[in-house]
Structures are given as structure tokens and as C-alpha cells.
């Protein structure tokens, strides 16, 4: 599938414009382990991801979510939503290396948390990689009164249904890749704070997976257009998290 042209990226339907300016996140984006909430996603950056590539990831994930929101109901039809989300990433110079359709998560305990679902979904990571994901989840839970709570909680679930993503991002040899876990659920209770909620076996969780690698040569041609497309939404949709 060919990448979006500049005109096509500008024409993406992201809904009504929001009058805001992109915040200067570059100051907080260094080559160390870091994390952020991006709308209904949490992103864990391994050490060594450049500031430019961190910015590319944040903008791409926001673009994909906004475009998918215009194509499908995020909470009521997560499968169609994730197909649209994946398509936007693929066409915006992220090459799909692997993907899976949604499968049922079967809990091994009588009660469980969303974090335990995420840890199960990322069980193939190395211990060092898993530690960054765990630190990201812990940082989000600790940011009780921070902007990340509004940024993530509002789009990630509604009532007892939800659809959120957790991405692990690493860079090697100048090439950046993302492993994205989609978690969708339907629970009998009204969910308040998602990452603090306790679920039982009555809650149905589904997991899907997407692994992508940035095509730097192609992305360089559309980087400015993607940034411009999400600029009005960026400040209100992205919040950095402090890792210990």
C-alpha cells in the first residue's frame, strides 16, 4: 500500500479543528527511557530512541487515532477501528512487520487488572524491555492529578467498554520500531480509573497486536505535513510521564 501523499494527509478527516498550539515537548524528549500518554494510548520508549523519532511516534499515533475515530466507533467496534488505525500507520510510512487479529484474554486469577492484561500481551519482551513497559504503567498510575489522566482516560473507555493501546518503542541502528498492543474490553461495571480498576472473569478482554517499523526515507517526505495535521490537537492529547 503506497504512503499517503502530502495532499492526502492534509485531507484526512480528523473531526473539527481545535484551536491549540503544539507544546514544546522536544525539551523532554531525550535518548533515555521515557513515556507518554497519547490520547487513548500509553507509549513506553526504550533508552536510545532519538528525540526526533519520539516526536514522530507521538504524532503518528495521534494521527492514527484521530483518523480511525472518524472511520469507526472506537468503543463499540474496536476491530474496525483498529483496522483503520493500522491502515493509517501503514500508509504514513510505517511498515507492518507482524499483526494479529483480536483474541480473548483468559485470566488465571479470580480478579485482575488492565496492567496484568498488558503484561500478558507483552510477555515476549525481554526483561529489560518489560521493565520499561512496567515503569510506564506505574508512572501513569502515580500521576494521579496529572494531565495524563485526562489525556488517556477519556478516550480509552466509556462506561464498561473500552479500547486502548500500549506501545513499546525501540531504536536500533537509526531505525525505530513500535510494538503496539490493542486492548479492548466489555465489563459489567462502570469503569472509573482504568488502570486502578479490578476486573473479574465476567469482563471480556480482547488483545490484538501490531508491529511496525518506520521507513525513514518516506517518512521524511511527510513529516512536516503530519506534524501540521495534528498540531491543533497535540497539546490537549499528549502528556509526558516521569519515569523513576
pLDDT 10s digits, 68-82: 999 999 999 999 999
Query: Bridge partners of 169?
Result: 45, 178
Q: What is the pLDDT of residue 26?
A: 47
pLDDT above 60 (res 59)? yes
* pLDDT tens readout for residues 45-55: 999 999 999 99
Q: Which domains, from first to last, does the chain contain?
A: 37-232 (3.40.198)
Q: Is residue 48 left, alpha or beta, with left meaning phi > 0 and alpha meaning psi from -120 to 50?
A: left
In this structure, of 8-12, 59-63, 122-126, 176-180, the range with the lowest mean pLDDT score is 8-12
Give the mean model confidence (pLDDT) for residues 148-170. Answer: 96
Question: In percent, how much of the chain has pLDDT > 70?
Answer: 87
- Dihedral Cα 182, 36, 70, 164, nearest 10 deg: 30
Amino acid at each position: 500500500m503506497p504512503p499517503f501523499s502530502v495532499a492526502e494527509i492534509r485531507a484526512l478527516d480528523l473531526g473539527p479543528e481545535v484551536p491549540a498550539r503544539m507544546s514544546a515537548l522536544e525539551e523532554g524528549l531525550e535518548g533515555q527511557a521515557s513515556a507518554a500518554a497519547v490520547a487513548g494510548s500509553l507509549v513506553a520508549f526504550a533508552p536510545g530512541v532519538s528525540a526526533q523519532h519520539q516526536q514522530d511516534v507521538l504524532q503518528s499515533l495521534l494521527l492514527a487515532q484521530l483518523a480511525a475515530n472518524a472511520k469507526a466507533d472506537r468503543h463499540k467496534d474496536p476491530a474496525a477501528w483498529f483496522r483503520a488505525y493500522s491502515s493509517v500507520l501503514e500508509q504514513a510510512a510505517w511498515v507492518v512487520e507482524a499483526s494479529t487479529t483480536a483474541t480473548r484474554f483468559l485470566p488465571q486469577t479470580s480478579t485482575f487488572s488492565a496492567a496484568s492484561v498488558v503484561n500478558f500481551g507483552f510477555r515476549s519482551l525481554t526483561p529489560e524491555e518489560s521493565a520499561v513497559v512496567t515503569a510506564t504503567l506505574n508512572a501513569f498510575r502515580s500521576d494521579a492529578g496529572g494531565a495524563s489522566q485526562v489525556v488517556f482516560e477519556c478516550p480509552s473507555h466509556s462506561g464498561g467498554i473500552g479500547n486502548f493501546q500500549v506501545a513499546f518503542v525501540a531504536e536500533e541502528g537509526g531505525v525505530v520500531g513500535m510494538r503496539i498492543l490493542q486492548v479492548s474490553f466489555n465489563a459489567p461495571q462502570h469503569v472509573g480509573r482504568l488502570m486502578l480498576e479490578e476486573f473479574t472473569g465476567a469482563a471480556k478482554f480482547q488483545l490484538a497486536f501490531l508491529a511496525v517499523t518506520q521507513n525513514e526515507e518516506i517518512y521524511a517526505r511527510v513529516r512536516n505535513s503530519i506534524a501540521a495535521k495534528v498540531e491543533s490537537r497535540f497539546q490537549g492529547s499528549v502528556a509526558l510521564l516521569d519515569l523513576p
